[in-house]
Structure 1
Amino acid sequence: MELKHIALIGAVAVTLQAAPALAQTEIIFGISAADGSLQDQTAEEFARRANEKLGDKAVVKVFDSSQLGKDKDMLQKIKLGTMHITLPSSTMPEIAPEYALFDLPFLVADRQHLAKIDEALFDSVLKPAAEAKGYKPLAIWENGFRQITNSKHPVTTPADLKGLKIRTPNSSWRVAMFQEYGANPTPMPFSELFVALQTGVVDGQENPMTNIYGGKLNEVQKYLSLSNHVYSPAYPTVGVKAFEKLDPEVQQIIEETAKEVAFWARDTGEAQDGELVGKLEEGGLAVNKTDRDAFVEASKPIYEKFAAEVEGGQEMIDQALSLANGSGS
């Protein structure tokens, strides 16, 4: 795959401390998701809108497909100021355990419910938890509802996962979830996933359909099991100290645009879901639905783990679940 903006890699050396006399400030936005995935589309939409508002003050440039490093590397870079924005998703609970709320299986009923959780908990609980660790999430964007693929057989119940080597993100919570389901979870970066599936290092994986399609995983998998087991947000995130060194007007534009694009991301994700199932089926995947009740039953220990290990965890669960009333489900 041809890497976008390859000629701009040198721009990563431009830090927030660049002198005003130098060329226009470049806001470097690195993501791990593949070219064409919803995360990539959303980052590009953010850049387009932000650049219209920034004028000659600064320019946002997006680097996809882990061009600037894996998620852990990019999180370190935004703290150091050698890049400006990144887009972690399932790795956020490793920064602040409160974000594992979104690792609770079947917690989010639909995107309307997600919007209510965002409004109720992002500014009051989630954002401060990350800021205490030196990171500033700007909004909740979409990664999407996660589905299971594998090369062995259809997955209908957790029993069908027994013994399967399933790639997960580098998330201790996702690992715990798939252990409860009987699988052998194997954490690894998304950038390594295609080859791992191709060579049989792992049998399957779980991701939103946009990542399955964008990563061309249908080429190395046989079965797509529609589980919707987790809704994964993605969080446009900056380093607190480094971000504060930007011009205040630039900071304001970046923050406002990030919140604005959140609505675009959800609408686009919802529109793409049905379309991508068809495309993946045409691409060779056999599609089936899972037994939701069986997976919900097997997921109870994850809720218990969150309530026991995360401060205020049970209150967060209760509040999030109460917001499902009146959603689109």
Structure 2
Amino acid sequence: MLKKVLGLLGTASLVAAMATPASAVELKLAHYAPIDHTASKAAEMMAAAVAKRTNNAVTIKLFPANQLGDGNEVLEQQMKGAIDITLPTQPMLDKYGPAGDKPFGVVMLPFVYKGYEHAWKVLDGPFTKWVAPRFDQIGLVHLANWEWGFRNLTNSKRPIMKPDDVKGLKIRTPGEIQLQAAMEAAGGIVTKIAFPELPMALKQGVVDGQENPLSVISSLKLWETQAHLALTYHSYNSMVAVASKQAMAKLTADQQKIVKEEAQKAGQWFRDENLKAEKGMIALLKEKGMKVTEPDLAAFKAKMQPAYDSIAAYSGKANVDAFLKMVAETK
């Protein structure tokens, strides 16, 4: 009988059929990071670990690099039930809050963190507890905080050491008001351009510069169009691994626990790898010809009050005050 089955199905097909439970659940995970980015590798790590620990009862199919849309688009699809897991940033999440009450919007306040570990402790600790009700309201389950990183400024025109050096530069930012406000407070002329269109906009000279984490600057090979990198570390944000309530409802309690644990492990791996890689990235960017400067950050911070005011108007002053208290109290 076994030989007959093997003849009909083939050995590989039979093994696959035996390894995958009839009640298996496949979850779609879509995100915007390039395929060679550490975020994509973390997603692959998570998917492999979940499949292994559930004996393929839960599998995760990955759609990186904007295959199903950019970060905002896949999050919208997730809200409609078409995608199960996404990796939005906090500013992408805050779009679903009411005007003037957007607690996710405070994460990117410029120049508030003392470094990566400080940012992680704030977000993993008091911030996650504080925003838990908002996740529930928008139909999402928080799995883990991942990484994206501190953002730095590049341009094709001149080295940047002080805010005056930014004056008049056409700077691309994504749609987030936090980044627009920070660049405008520094003296830049802000142009909003979608992430997939950024490399071409730089090549065509539509804008002079942009701001992003070092990992993005490196993976997009921005040295090809940007001669100057200023290590401003002006704003931090992270990807947030979130699942829809509908997706989690398909899983048993044990499976939900596994998905959350593996999301957290992959996220911490992503953080650690990013931190280790940053020095190497700076060296690589120098090797590729970028001129790297370390600006006077105190001078930049002194210019940020207009940005703080704009973020408070957008996110809610009470939210900004509550977050700054968390930051101050988190050691």
Shorter-chain TM-score tier: 0.7 to 0.9
Return the TM-score normalized by structure 2: 0.85
**Residue number among 312, 316, 320 corresponding to 1:313 in the alignment:** 320
Question: Which residue does 1:206 correspond to in 2?
Answer: 211
Query: 1:118-197, aligned counterparts within 5 Å?
Result: 118-197=123-202
> How far, CA to CA, are the matches of 2:250 and 2:175 in structure 1?
30
Q: Which amino acid aligns with 1:313?
A: V
Say which SS state the counterpart of residue 115 (structure 1) adopts: helix
Question: Which residue does 1:93 correspond to in 2?
Answer: 94
Say which SS state the counterpart of residue 243 (structure 2) adopts: strand
Further displaced range: 265-274 or 178-187 = 178-187
Query: 1:1-329, aligned counterparts within 5 Å?
Result: 24-89=24-89, 90-96=91-97, 97-307=102-312, 309-310=315-316, 311-323=318-330, 325=331
- Do the aligned partners of 2:149 and 2:236 also contact (CA within 8 Å) in 1? yes
* CA distance 1:188–1:248, change in 2 (3 Å): farther
Question: Which residue does 1:16 correspond to in 2?
Answer: none
Shift of 1:307: 4.7
- Do the aligned partners of 2:177 and 2:311 also contact (CA within 8 Å) in 1? no
Q: Give the root-mean-square deviation of aligned CA atoms.
A: 2.0
Shift of 1:217: 1.4
Further displaced range: 242-251 or 213-222 = 242-251
Shift of 1:268: 1.0
Structure 2 unaligned runs (5+)?
A: 1-20
Deviations 1:244-273, CA, capped at 9 Å, x for gaps: 234443322211211222321221111011
Q: Which amino acid aligns with 1:62?
A: L
> How far, CA to CA, are the matches of 1:155 and 1:99 in structure 2?
30
Structure 1 unaligned runs (5+)?
A: 1-19
Q: Which amino acid aligns with 2:107?
A: F
Return the TM-score normalized by structure 1: 0.86
Shift of 1:148: 0.6
Q: Which amino acid aligns with 1:49?
A: A
Say which SS state the counterpart of residue 65 (structure 1) adopts: coil
Q: Indicate the percent of aligned positions where both proteins have the same amino acid.
A: 31
- Do the aligned partners of 1:135 and 1:239 also contact (CA within 8 Å) in 2? yes
* CA distance 1:316–1:225, change in 2 (3 Å): same
Q: Which amino acid aligns with 2:201?
A: A
> How far, CA to CA, are the matches of 1:203 and 1:218 in structure 2?
13
Question: Which residue does 2:14 correspond to in 1?
Answer: none
Say which SS state the counterpart of residue 95 (structure 1) adopts: coil
Shift of 1:221: 1.2
Larger Rg: 2
- Do the aligned partners of 2:143 and 2:260 also contact (CA within 8 Å) in 1? yes
> How far, CA to CA, are the matches of 1:95 and 1:205 in structure 2?
26
> How far, CA to CA, are the matches of 1:163 and 1:62 in structure 2?
41
Say which SS state the counterpart of residue 302 (structure 2) adopts: helix
Q: Which amino acid aligns with 1:116?
A: K
Shift of 1:84: 1.2
Q: Which amino acid aligns with 1:102?
A: V
